[in-house]
Structure 1
Amino acid sequence: MTATVSAAAGGIAGDGPARRKEPVRSVRMPDRTLLTMGVEEEFLLVDRGSRAPAGRAPQVIAATRGILGGQVQQEFYTTQVETCTRPTSDSAELRAELARLRAIVSRASADACCLLVASGTPVLPPEQPLEVTHDPRYQRMAARYAHVLGDRRQVVCGCHVHIGMPDRARALALSSHMRPWLPVLQSLAANSPFNRGTDSGYASWRWVEHALWPTVGPAPVLDEARYERTVETLLRTGRLMDRRMIYWFARPSEHVPTLEIRVADVNSDLDVPVLLAVLVRGLATVLCRDVEAGLQPTPVGSRALHTAHRLAALHGLAGDGLDLRSGLRVPAWDLVGALVERAAPGLEGAGDMPMTVTLLDRLRANGGGADRQRRTHRRLRSLHAVVDALAESTAAG
């Protein structure tokens, strides 16, 4: 590994002092042993003239449905479009499919006089309250959670990574082992610095807005029986409307056999979702061995974990994060190095380590998504230019 991904002294939770560090393996595992991965990306549609959010998703989805089928979907607001890759164990195939989905939806957006933009929050505010998608479930959510929606002028867009799991019990066990590492993945993808036309001061303002919804946050440590009891309680007490509203940062999917990681902002740079997917898959590969060996997840205090997520949202990669083992603040890049070291056997086994090193070096050189948005704004003194740069990068995937 290069200096970019070297681990910091002290590391991060997950490699406690009583645990033997597993050596890096350079032999690639047969493809049949690799975990599958998939990516969901939520995009904004913005008007080509005003660059403000535009509710034309029905038109864009209708224009692409014949080609993409269920791989293009509606979201909560009509200014959002979601794409979903098919599960794959091959990172090159994943990248090619992400690029294809973006290209098709970008062309359809242009035909609807829109730009397709990958940003965790809109750079410019909507010109009028956003329209909720005409779907019975979304309409019920809008009525029940009106206090969360406020004036309906904020929308958030995430990137979710799915890792194939054989059953819910193992997905929950993996979720518990993943908890200490999710703030690091969050920092890599921070890409929402602007809030309604002003700089929020955060690298990921999406994290702030999304946390207004019930259950958004770190997943509790649960086995399958406790998971079912917890969900039943949330439904019975009315905190949640249905099971699909379990918004923990790591959750067993309700519609596909996967563990879904939900900490990332959507990014216009295609390198970022690819990097996230291979890192999550590499880390999951290593942690699944701990699960199979019957090892318990490393205990992490809820307050410390919340602080780690807040620092990741505040700084992204351009500041300190929290080392959950030592309790000390350290540069975010040191925590990235620790994550790569922990995930190295999985990355090496899948043949993804060279690409990971390359993409991390590129990300360090160019800055994270929030850094690039701010840099464009400083250089051109125009929020319209920020939107245009995002749209160009999104379409160029």
Structure 2
Amino acid sequence: MTDALTFGIEEEFFVVDREGHLSQSGNVVVDSAEEAQGELQHELTRSQVESATGICRTRDEALEQLKALRAELAEAAAQRGARLLPCGSPPMAEAELPSITPNPRYERMARHFGATTRTTLTCGCHVHVAIPDRETGVRLIRRIRPWLPALLTLTANSAISDGIDTGYSSWRYQQWTRWPSAGPPPEFTSLDHYEGIVDAWLRAGAILDRAMVYWDVRLSEGQPTVEFRFSDVASTPDEAVLLGVLIRGLVTTVLDEGEPASHLSNEVLRAHLWRAAREGLSGQCPHPVTGDLAPAPKVVDDVVTFAASALESTGDLDFVRDGCARLFEGGNGADRQRTRFADRKSAEDVVDLFVV
């Protein structure tokens, strides 16, 4: 365990009122919460909040912090007649869009990107894993790209959005990739290749600063980590930690293995991610090695098997296998959204099921 890579998890949430509609009280909720270990932050709109764990070495550390951070935000929301909602997209149809948080950077983004800023209402889960240097991070991104679709299926949690069944398990992923810098990262050949694309985006105005590099996996600008950004916010802290330790195990394995599962163009990887976002755990997912479609649980099992040695070394293998088995049997967040929505075609029922 002393040599295990450290990691951290960030979670974004919606703040909703008693009827399940987006509230404008997110900023007040963050400002009034009694911050647990970790960090609470404002988000792009007044209807969102964000939490981030500190640096974690074990799953128990991460789980304890995530539970405490959710509890603090939920309590602060409840004091204002609101609730905390861990869903990737807002389930309810909204008559009005939420206001942008009064922050100079967010306001500049709203002016520059127009309706993309106001209408891309999404909440994600970001996993940071420590790396020794940025060159290593770029090599890791190249090697880990083919595994992203399988990981996306695990925590897909945005099937119901705008009052309808979208036909996707992760509708958030479809929305999020409207940003010009979002989506799968290229198969980088070097750190210079990575930096050259970022520089070109800046010169074109496709991003306003380096924090707007929204690839599904990117180098963190503020921390010595690689950041995974593809996932919906998990419906429960246990699912978020499952994703976090599986990613850590996969990172460890991929760095040791040296070569990617397969060489994929961005066009093909984007298609694989689309399929994973559409069907989640209940359908077919392209296999990271062959590219052939297979039942998503089988593909996830193969990912776990690939990372098994690293997971066993940190004491996480049984936790990951048990967690995946529960999701295979009971469904991920998207599956549970659909099951609840099917009863009465009520998005409010979905909100009531998921609120903290």
Shift of 1:128: 1.4
| Structure 1 counterpart of 2:64, one-letter code | A
Shift of 1:165: 1.1
In structure 1, which of residues 256, 278, 281 is the aligned counterpart of residue 248 of structure 2? 281
1:37 aligns with 2:31: no
CA-based RMSD: 1.5
Distance 2:12 2:161 in 1: 17
1:214-229 equivalent positions in 2, closer than 5 A: 214-222=180-188, 223-229=190-196
| 1:74-108 alpha-carbon deviations (Å, 9 max, x no partner) | 11111000000011111111111111111111100
Shift of 1:302: 2.2
| Structure 1 counterpart of 2:100, one-letter code | V
In structure 2, which of residues 17, 28, 31 is the aligned counterpart of residue 62 of structure 1? 31
Distance 1:200 1:171 in 2: 35
- CA pair 82-230 structure 1, distance change in 2 beyond 3 A: same
How many corresponding residue pairs?
355
1:281-300 equivalent positions in 2, closer than 5 A: 281-291=248-258, 295=259, 298-300=262-264
In structure 2, which of residues 132, 135, 144 is the aligned counterpart of residue 178 of structure 1? 144
Q: Which residue of 2 aligns with 1:140?
A: 108
1:164 aligns with 2:130: yes
In structure 2, which of residues 283, 292, 295 is the aligned counterpart of residue 328 of structure 1? 292
Q: Which has the larger radius of gyration?
A: 1
Q: Is the 8 A contact 2:131 2:137 kept in 1?
A: yes
In structure 2, which of residues 34, 40, 51 is the aligned counterpart of residue 83 of structure 1? 51
In structure 1, which of residues 341, 345, 353 is the aligned counterpart of residue 317 of structure 2? 353
TM-score (norm 1): 0.86
| Unpaired runs of at least 5, structure 1 | 1-30
Higher relative contact order (CA 8 A, sep 6+): 1
1:371 aligns with 2:335: yes
| Unpaired runs of at least 5, structure 2 | none
Shift of 1:337: 1.0
Q: Which residue of 2 aligns with 1:243?
A: 210
Q: Secondary structure at the match of 1:317?
A: helix
Shift of 1:127: 3.0
Q: Is the 8 A contact 1:45 1:79 kept in 2?
A: yes
1:203 aligns with 2:169: yes
Distance 1:126 1:214 in 2: 25
Q: Is the 8 A contact 2:38 2:65 kept in 1?
A: no
Q: Is the 8 A contact 2:170 2:277 kept in 1?
A: yes
TM-score (norm 2): 0.96
Shift of 1:119: 0.3
Q: Which residue of 2 aligns with 1:302?
A: 266
Q: Is the 8 A contact 1:304 1:324 kept in 2?
A: no
Q: Is the 8 A contact 2:7 2:57 kept in 1?
A: yes
| Structure 1 counterpart of 2:57, one-letter code | S
Distance 2:215 2:35 in 1: 32
| 1:278-312 alpha-carbon deviations (Å, 9 max, x no partner) | 10000111111134xxx467311222211110011
Shift of 1:324: 4.1
Distance 1:309 1:200 in 2: 16
| Structure 1 counterpart of 2:314, one-letter code | A
Q: Is the 8 A contact 1:44 1:79 kept in 2?
A: yes
Q: Which residue of 2 aligns with 1:192?
A: 158
